[in-house]
Amino acid sequence: MAGLCSTLATAHAQEIAPYGALPSKAQLDWQNMEYYMFIHLGPNTFTDNEWGHGDEDPKVFNPTQLDARQWARTAKLAGMKAIIITAKHHDGFCLWPSKYSTHTVRESAWKNGKGDVLKELSAACKEYGLKFGVYLSPWDRNHPAYGTPEYNQVFSNTLNEVLSSYGPVFEQWFDGANGEGPNGKKPVYDWDLFHNTVYKNQPNAVIFSDVGPGCRWVGNEDGIAGTTNWATLNVKGFTPGKGAPAQSVLNEGDMNGEKWVPAECDVSIRPGWFYSASTNDKVKSVQHLLDIYYGSVGRNSNMLLNVPVDRRGLIYSADSTRLMEFKKFRDASFKTNLALKAKVTATETRKNNVKVKVANLNDGKGDTYWATPDNVLKGTITLTFAQPTSFNRLVLQEYIALGQRVKAFSVEVLENGAFKEIATATTVGHKRILSFPDVTTTQVRINIQDALACPVISEVQLYKAPGLLDVPVIKRNKQGDVSIVCSSPDPELHYTLDGKEPVYSSPKYTGAISLPEGGVVKAKAFLENGKRASATVTAAYDIAPAKWKVTFTDGQNKGADPEKAIDGNPESFWASPYQPETAKYPHEIQVDLGEELTLKGFTYTPRHLLEKSGTIYTYAFYVSEDGKSWGEPVAQGNFANIANNPVTQSVKFSKSVKGRFVRLVAVAPANEKEHWASVAELSVITK
């Protein structure tokens, strides 16, 4: 008996103790989904707005060919695992006939008020084996009770109505936006009430918000998680929206955070979230989507890709085509796991635990693992091949049911008798994907260099992804000269100016193309005499700023000259002074266009590359014939969602106006802590 007890004690001593905050079963299932679809649909689809005002006539919503089965079929063929839809956006419009609103599909022209988008989509998801999720914004710019204490119960009733009527919901998506309603007031959201309502109806749902509790916003709408990304987060004292942690914290999580709140990377396949015909030629390239995939799924996050439904009620052909191209390349990249052919060895393997085996590292299963003994925070995994093997992708996974542990690791390959380091990284979590140039070797070493507790690794995989021909980059300078470049080696670049798709027989790019009056340039890169081609890239230009000059600003920051706002280069910018005593809003910039033009609108490009500071939220735009008499603004309002999605903003005037001088007044900032304004590019719309 004493011997048996000793044996049991030894075996028990080698069991792996969980470390830190842990995922629930629902969170584990959620993380394994990795990639799914977001759909934005509502009155904004028909008004070309990103954020509706709530006063739109509900009859504007009329997607006469709406086919939720097409959406589900597209998602399934694209390799996605679910669809989340904007059941109610900030404008308050409900995609189902809610009892708690008079701003719904019931009041719309669609199906004579008899339709129910949620009913059709939930049924389509079930048919195609997809999970179903809902986005419900607590902000409501239409409901008369918004801004009153009673509104929280109204929203809870709305949640209850949706979550009890359409079957299982895998994710409840809460937007933290909290603006004013029709009465000019803002409520204090009762998040505890909302969460309890969700769990009462959908106990297995993962709740998304800036701070979870199920999963968190990644801190940007670019779809990219931090190179270091912990699934744990400190949430005490924080709330969704303005009470959330800093975006940099959301992007990386907190090492040893108190709660398990993994990141979800939301991003749109187009520049905006809702459909606009103006972005039909701006669907992200396969390379861009691949970069997002590696920056989300490949960095311990899930990828939520928005594919807006068009005014017909269908996914537009350019979007669905790109999704299939992306799926094809992903499948080709991860078709053959070369690690399955390797002999695997490891140092510091945990003993007296039948679950821990070196062979588990390349068995292709996510629920088996290898681990080191307690308090051993380093270890080396070696893969040995019988023949030289080429690869350019590494996939590493932790067994996160026991917690996230790895802090740093490196990858080495045997070259000329010595090991050479080819990559280093920090966190792993559910999945880490590293990309690097092709290497050929007979041995690969993964060195776990540091961890919070004994590393528990479930998978090591190696792949050789095919090469992808980069899309060209089109730029135009201040004079209107267009250049086309491509980072892939030795491509032939062909282009069109007539709106047609470039083919190998289209004009070959040999030098700058003069386009001072504007136009549409489409370009493609070709290799092997046209046998291989990149995706098409499109750039649409209005009149070039060759004759323009800045006549007035209220100041500038050092190096941020006013002329940089009209130089045709979105990488440069004008910024008003940063000093608090001189930087208070409003700010303005005035431009002489050099000639009288008939203007139909203007565009504002914020800083959006390395830094996003100085973004303008509220604006007023003026046009003048003499640069002295400005009159009333020809356009004024807010750049909706620009803080999170800092893309070029296009504003159309209610009617055309003639003038030679324009004036942009920055009335309020997107970030209340920033007292200065910046403009990467200011342009006008004449076509």
pLDDT tens digits along 99-113: 999 999 999 999 999
Residue pair 121/71 in contact by the 8 Å Cβ criterion: yes
Q: Judge if 481 and 390 occupy the same domain.
A: no
Q: Residue 628 pLDDT more than 60?
A: yes
Q: Residue 207 pLDDT more than 90?
A: yes
pLDDT at 683: 98
If you ran DSSP here, which 8-state letter would residue 234 be given?
-
Which of 521, 541, 561 is a domain's end point?
Answer: 541
User: β-strands 432-451, 406-415: how paired?
Assistant: antiparallel
Q: Judge if 33 and 128 occupy the same domain.
A: yes
Cβ-proximal residues to 211 (8 Å cutoff; 6+ apart), any chain: 233, 235, 238, 239, 240, 244, 245, 261
Its pTM stands at 0.90
Distance of CA 218 to the CA centre of its chain: 9
Q: Judge if 175 and 93 occupy the same domain.
A: yes
Q: Which two tokens stand for residue 223?
A: 């779809």
pLDDT at 267: 98
pLDDT grade for 583, boundaries at 50, 70 and 90: confident
The domain that holds 527 is classified in CATH as: 2.60.40.10
pLDDT grade for 238, boundaries at 50, 70 and 90: very high
pLDDT grade for 610, boundaries at 50, 70 and 90: low
Only one residue has tokens 């997809």, namely 130
Residue pair 304/266 in contact by the 8 Å Cβ criterion: yes
- Residue 10 lies inside a defined structural domain of this protein: no
Q: Which two tokens stand for residue 512?
A: 């700058």
Q: Judge if 317 and 223 occupy the same domain.
A: yes
Q: Judge if 325 and 357 occupy the same domain.
A: no
- Residue 9 lies inside a defined structural domain of this protein: no
- Residue 3 lies inside a defined structural domain of this protein: no
Q: Judge if 308 and 370 occupy the same domain.
A: no
Which of 330, 348, 371 is a domain's end point?
Answer: 330
Q: Judge if 292 and 351 occupy the same domain.
A: no
- Residue 492 lies inside a defined structural domain of this protein: yes
pLDDT at 454: 98
Q: Residue 13 pLDDT more than 70?
A: no
pLDDT grade for 3, boundaries at 50, 70 and 90: very low
Q: Residue 630 pLDDT more than 50?
A: yes
Which of 330, 350, 369 is a domain's end point?
Answer: 330
What is the arithmetic mean of pLDDT over 76-104? 99
Residue pair 565/680 in contact by the 8 Å Cβ criterion: yes
pLDDT at 465: 96
pLDDT tens digits along 437-454: 999 999 999 999 999 999
The domain that holds 454 is classified in CATH as: 2.60.120.260
Q: Residue 1 pLDDT more than 80?
A: no
Q: Judge if 198 and 313 occupy the same domain.
A: yes
Give the helix/strand (H/E) hosting 279.
Answer: none
What is the arithmetic mean of pLDDT over 544-561? 94
The domain that holds 241 is classified in CATH as: 3.20.20.80
Alpha helices (runs of H) in 367-439, residue ranges in sequence order: none
pLDDT at 644: 87
Residue pair 681/648 in contact by the 8 Å Cβ criterion: yes
User: 214 vs 130, 292, 302, 399, 470, CA distance in Å?
Assistant: 20, 22, 12, 19, 37
The whole-angstrom separation of Cα 88 and Cα 210 is 18
What is the arithmetic mean of pLDDT over 37-46? 98
What rounded mean pLDDT belongs to the chain?
95
What is the arithmetic mean of pLDDT over 79-98? 99
pLDDT at 488: 80
pLDDT at 12: 44
Q: Judge if 278 and 379 occupy the same domain.
A: no
What is the arithmetic mean of pLDDT over 534-560? 94
What is the arithmetic mean of pLDDT over 417-434? 98
pLDDT at 546: 98
What is the arithmetic mean of pLDDT over 586-590? 97
**Residue 528 CB neighbours (<10 A):** 8
pLDDT tens digits along 463-493: 999 988 888 999 999 999 999 999 887 899 9
Q: Judge if 117 and 187 occupy the same domain.
A: yes
End-to-end CA distance of the chain: 91
pLDDT at 8: 39
Q: Judge if 482 and 628 occupy the same domain.
A: no
pLDDT grade for 377, boundaries at 50, 70 and 90: very high
- Residue 238 lies inside a defined structural domain of this protein: yes
Exposure b/e, 131-151, CB count within 10 A at least 16 = b? bbbbbbbbbbbbbebbbeeeb
- Residue 468 lies inside a defined structural domain of this protein: no
Q: In the chain, pLDDT over 90 holds for what percent of residues? A: 89
pLDDT grade for 189, boundaries at 50, 70 and 90: very high
Q: In the chain, pLDDT over 70 holds for what percent of residues? A: 97
Q: Judge if 401 and 421 occupy the same domain.
A: yes
- Residue 166 lies inside a defined structural domain of this protein: yes
Q: Residue 352 pLDDT more than 90?
A: no
Q: What's the domain count of the chain? A: 4
What is the arithmetic mean of pLDDT over 582-605? 95
Range of the domain at 114: 25-330
The whole-angstrom separation of Cα 341 and Cα 462 is 10
Q: Residue 288 pLDDT more than 70?
A: yes
- Residue 134 lies inside a defined structural domain of this protein: yes
Q: Which residue has the higher pLDDT, 643 or 74?
A: 74
